[in-house]
Amino acid sequence: MLRCQQTCDGSLLRRESEVKTLSMVVAIAAFVTGVVAAWYWYRSARIDPKTGWNPPVGDATTDPDALLANLNALFVWTFAIKDALKESSELNRSAAIWTAVSVLFSAVAAEMGNLPSG
């Protein structure tokens, strides 16, 4: 009889509706944070080394100036790759954090969907 009174006045139905609505909001938050994570990972994969130089010309085996130009180019490339790796790793870190938040929201939404009714 107690169950009928709770159901008849609508409080139980209203509570179930509120939980379903909240579960949908949390699921949407999981989707949005997952898209943000994917965007960070996409950006991290698109990082190119910024060298700003043209390959040197000349025979490095006979011309000392060409050898120095080639060595300089090697150093420029080395530091450009280091900077690109650092930028990519920072974006990967952000993506991993956003993914963790997305997984947390997904787990909460799943658990809310598994709550017993009544």
Listed residue (52, 43, 53) closest to 98, CA to CA:
43
What average pLDDT does this structure show over 9-13? 64
Query: How many angstroms separate the Cα of 74 from the Cα of each of 23, 49, 67, 77, 78?
Result: 55, 13, 11, 5, 6
> pLDDT higher for 49 or 91?
91
- Tell whether 36 is covered by a domain: yes
Matching residue, tokens 């139905």 = 13
Query: How many angstroms separate the Cα of 36 from the Cα of each of 4, 93, 113?
Result: 45, 13, 24
- Tell whether 118 is covered by a domain: no
* Domain membership of residue 83 as a residue range: 2-113
> pLDDT higher for 107 or 61?
107
- Tell whether 70 is covered by a domain: yes
pLDDT the model gives residue 42: 97
Q: Can you tell me the distance from the alpha carbon of 68 to that of 65, in angstroms, rounded to the nearest whole number?
A: 5
pLDDT the model gives residue 60: 75
- Report the domain count for the chain: 1
pLDDT the model gives residue 2: 47
Which pTM value belongs to this model? 0.73
Residues 6+ apart with CB under 8 A from 114: none
